[in-house]
Chain A
Amino acid sequence: MHKVLIIDDSEINLTLIRALVIKLGECEPVLFDNPVKALEWCRSNEPDLVIVDYMMPEMDGLRFIAGFRALHGRTEIPVLMITANDQKDVRYEALLGGANDFLTKPIDRIEFSARVRNMLALRTGQKFLADRAAHLANEVAERTREIRDRERELIYRISRAAEFRDPETGAHIQRMAHYSEIIARGLDLDAATCNLILRAAPMHDVGKIGIRDHILLKPGRLTPQEFEIMKQHATLGYELLKDSGSEILQAGAEIALAHHEKYDGSGYPRGLKGSAIPLFGRIVAVADVFDALTSERPYKKAWSLDDAMRFLEDGRGSHFDPLCVEAFLAGWEDVLEVRQRFRDEEVPVI
């Protein structure tokens, strides 16, 4: 049903136009004998076609069209202006002012029907395109979401692959990723960045894929030479992930490379100091160490929460960025909730 707005101060014309519009079928006429009121109506209603007389008291057709076109979302709606044959100057002005076509007085049904049908066909086309554009935008958003979900899933699975070769568990990567997010939030990073670190942190140890089993899985203490080889997992992870087009993988590369750096410069592989260490690296260092301490391993018992907390506090400024430790401790309630949610025996998907 097309909504056809008709504005004419003469009642006989309103009646005639209304009758003609109804005869066209599929049209619902809306009548106004006052253009000011019609314009007011247009603020909250969207006609499919406007038929407006030129000569009216209070507001002529040209001023109505100007007012109508100035309303939000009303620039494309077709407007037909009714003029007498002799008003050529008015017609030119109306064309410049946004009228799409004209109807001449006295109204001729054949001409009227053809022009109104043309305008309604134009409107139908506009609506179709708009619907199609909206539909496509939705479709793209949906597909993008699917791709992003798949990206997250793949990252999780890649991260698990590294953990499979390690005494650490799937729950570890979930917990440390959520701890990292808690710290990011505590540092007042924006929501997108907090989400980014949550998605990227699981990849911190992905470079362990490249460490030989006799070193990676050695139950006893590593010799200094073996430890040097073990340290390569940071760079290996970075090499694996760097130069990706994915923002998450890029962040993962940075985290893999920087998560063993220490605040006082005594970490590896680059021995960076303080704020020279990428922020994500500083954040993940706290999250990763805390979870390692509080988890049981074949070669060690789990530390108590108090001991682990003290370790973080003692490491402020030496091992850890003090602000990251502070943010972590400030989010203690959330930390406990994450521990509760991701236990070692069961691994819910992110």
Chain B
Amino acid sequence: MSPFVFDKASILERLGGDEEIFVMMVDMFLQDVDRNCQSLREALGDEAAVLQREAHTIKALLATFSDNAGAELAQTLELRAKTGELADAPARVDVLLARVAEVADVLRRLSVG
């Protein structure tokens, strides 16, 4: 998978060019990312519906920052959880978590800098 490229122009375009909302979104993402990852990890031991929902949440988070590749990973996991194909779920969760961590890193550097 290609590395996450931070495409501020595309994100801003979706937010109507509003820097203020953009900054707010980055802050929210960083604030919640650990909790979201924790929930996704725990969902592996729960019902498929829970895993489906947590994957869905992550999908929305990544899509907010125009990470199409990451959002696609989350969506695949979400759909497989929905149809009950859970054999490779732990592996998929690991990949997704790594991707979220990568995005978070980029955003963190950005917000510090």
A12 within 8 A of B: yes
Q: Which of B1-33 contact A (CB under 8 A)?
A: 14-16, 18, 20-21, 24-25, 28-29, 32
Are B64 and A55 in contact, CB atoms less than 8 angstroms apart?
no
Size category of the B interface is 20 to 34
Q: 1/0 contact trace for A85-110 toward B, CB 8 Å?
A: 01000000000000000000111111
Interface SS majority for chain B: helix
Known: A15-B25, A20-B16. 12 other contacts (CB 8 A): A11-B28, A12-B28, A12-B29, A16-B64, A19-B21, A23-B21, A55-B53, A57-B53, A106-B14, A106-B60, A108-B14, A109-B14
Q: Which of A20, A84, A113 contacts B59 (CB 8 A)?
A: A84
Query: Which residues of chain B are within 8 angstroms of A11 by Cβ–Cβ distance?
Result: 28, 32
B107 within 8 A of A: no
B37 within 8 A of A: no
Q: Which of A1-44 contact B (CB under 8 A)?
A: 9-13, 15-16, 19-20, 23
Are B25 and A12 in contact, CB atoms less than 8 angstroms apart?
yes
CB B11 to nearest CB in A, in angstroms, measures 9
Are A110 and B16 in contact, CB atoms less than 8 angstroms apart?
yes
B61 within 8 A of A: yes
Are A109 and B18 in contact, CB atoms less than 8 angstroms apart?
yes
30 A-B pairs (CB sep. < 8 Å): A9-B57, A10-B57, A10-B60, A10-B61, A11-B28, A12-B25, A12-B28, A12-B32, A12-B64, A13-B60, A15-B25, A15-B28, A16-B24, A16-B28, A16-B64, A19-B18, A19-B20, A20-B16, A20-B21, A23-B18, A55-B53, A84-B59, A84-B60, A84-B75, A105-B63, A106-B63, A107-B64, A109-B14, A110-B16, A113-B16
CB B58 to nearest CB in A, in angstroms, measures 10
Query: Which residues of chain B are within 8 angstroms of A109 by Cβ–Cβ distance?
Result: 14-16, 18, 21
B56 within 8 A of A: yes
Given contacts A12-B29, A57-B53, A107 and B24 within 8 Å (CB-CB): no
CB B91 to nearest CB in A, in angstroms, measures 23
Are A19 and B24 in contact, CB atoms less than 8 angstroms apart?
yes
Query: Which residues of chain A are within 8 angstroms of B15 by Cβ–Cβ distance?
Result: 109
The CA-CA distance from A13 to B57 in the complex, in Å, is 10
Most chain A beta carbons < 10 A, residue from B16, B18, B60, B63: B60
Name which residue of chain A comes closest to B20, CB basis.
A19
8 nearest CB pairs, A to B: A109-B16, A106-B63, A12-B28, A108-B14, A19-B21, A106-B64, A55-B56, A109-B15
The CA-CA distance from A206 to B63 in the complex, in Å, is 87
Are A86 and B21 in contact, CB atoms less than 8 angstroms apart?
no
The CA-CA distance from A13 to B21 in the complex, in Å, is 12
Given contacts A10-B60, A57-B53, A105-B60, A15 and B14 within 8 Å (CB-CB): no
The CA-CA distance from A67 to B64 in the complex, in Å, is 29
Query: Which residues of chain A are within 8 angstroms of B60 by Cβ–Cβ distance?
Result: 10, 12-13, 84, 105-106
The CA-CA distance from A113 to B53 in the complex, in Å, is 27
Name which residue of chain B comes closest to A54, CB basis.
B56
The CA-CA distance from A12 to B20 in the complex, in Å, is 14
The CA-CA distance from A12 to B100 in the complex, in Å, is 15
Name which residue of chain A comes closest to B59, CB basis.
A84
Name which residue of chain B comes closest to A22, CB basis.
B21
The CA-CA distance from A19 to B24 in the complex, in Å, is 9
Query: Which residues of chain A are within 8 angstroms of B28 by Cβ–Cβ distance?
Result: 11-12, 15-16
Query: Which residues of chain A are within 8 angstroms of B63 by Cβ–Cβ distance?
Result: 105-106
Query: Which residues of chain A are within 8 angstroms of B59 by Cβ–Cβ distance?
Result: 84
